[in-house]
Amino acid sequence: MPANFTLIGGGDGQAHFRWSKNTEPDFDKYILYRSVGDMNDFVRIGETKQTEFVDVFLSYDLVYYYYLTAIDFAGNESAPTGVIDVRPINISSPASPTNVTVYGHNYPNLNQVEFVITWTPPSVSDLMMFRIYRGTDPFFRADSTSLIDSTTVGIYFDRNVKPGDLFYYRVTSVDLGLKSSLPSAAAGDRIMEKVELTNPSNRIEFTPPYVFTWKSVEHARGYKVFVAKSPLADTIWTSQKSIDTTAIYQGSSFNPGSVYYWWVAAYSKNDTLIVDKNIKITPDINSRSLIWTFFVR
């Protein structure tokens, strides 16, 4: 029989147990049993070789009963431990979301203008939803005046926006008891204007030295040129990211008589962005140009 079966934490929709290690040479694993509401209907809910177990997604309002057994390699099951009961009431507010990231998108070919907000949810079993707050500076207060929406998943699309907008966002976690976390750190971005292409013009012959040009976009941190055999697919060349508004084609030779598609992406953030000081990510494309075509002889 397992020794020192103990409840070390019960609340916020979970029950955390610990016990002493079994040192018998033929020991195989532990089995945990649970009954809900009374002690008349115990069922096996899990097995482990470790000396801890956390039962999650429990109701605040119910009483749960548990006991533990051990099994050897021959399948013999030990006598049960004593029964432990727990009512996992709502005690603490959940932790705040972390790694909040915001990207503005202006993709004219997709008719898509939006901010995309993502985050890492806290590891809690009684999480119900997230509340999204928006402000115009990174020090705005997350309160009822800045609350814009809620969601049950770790991503949110804010489409009540337009090119030129600059917004910051904070996110809170809310548990099943409606206790709310402190707001996350603020993260923001702007939606830049679309890139305007200049050379080669749309639907014309492209001749050496194959120089692509476009107009600069305010607040852009860099650009990339994409050349493809079809719109937004079959890419044959991508330029290095650069703040220049000119790029010389350095890909494989064009096929005479073929039509090619090209567009330019603008970035509002540097190549590596550190979020909450410990996560590195590659930024999304902020704005795109329209897609133009050219042909070569």
Q: How far is CA 149 from CA 9, 156, 157, 169, in A?
A: 33, 9, 10, 11
Nearest CA to 220 out of 200, 245, 198, 187 is that of 245
Checking if the pLDDT of 278 tops 80, the result is no
% of the chain residues with pLDDT over 90: 92
- pLDDT tens digits, residue range 108-163? 989 999 999 999 999 998 999 999 999 999 999 999 999 999 999 999 999 999 99
Nearest in space to 173 (alpha carbons), one of 118, 122, 116, 99:
122
At 282 the pLDDT is 75
Range in 34-48, 66-80, 211-225, 262-276 the model is least confident about: 262-276
Q: What is the CA radius of gyration of the chain?
A: 29
In this predicted structure, the answer to whether residue 273 has a pLDDT above a threshold of 90 is no
Percent of the chain topping pLDDT 70? 97
* Strand-strand pairing, 127-135 and 147-151: antiparallel
- The encoded tokens of residue 191 equal 């939606």
Instruction: Tell me what pLDDT residue 277 has.
Output: 61
Contact 152, 129 (CB under 8 A): yes
Residue 180 is given by DSSP the state B
Q: Cα separation of 129 and 105, whole Å?
A: 25
What is this structure's pTM?
Answer: 0.84
Q: How far is CA 144 from the centre of its chain?
A: 25
Query: CA-to-CA distance for 149 and 143, rounded, in angstroms?
Result: 12
Taken in order of first residue, the domains within the chain and their CATH numbers are: 6-86 (2.60.40.10), 98-190 (2.60.40.10), 197-295 (2.60.40)
Interval 185-199 mean pLDDT: 97
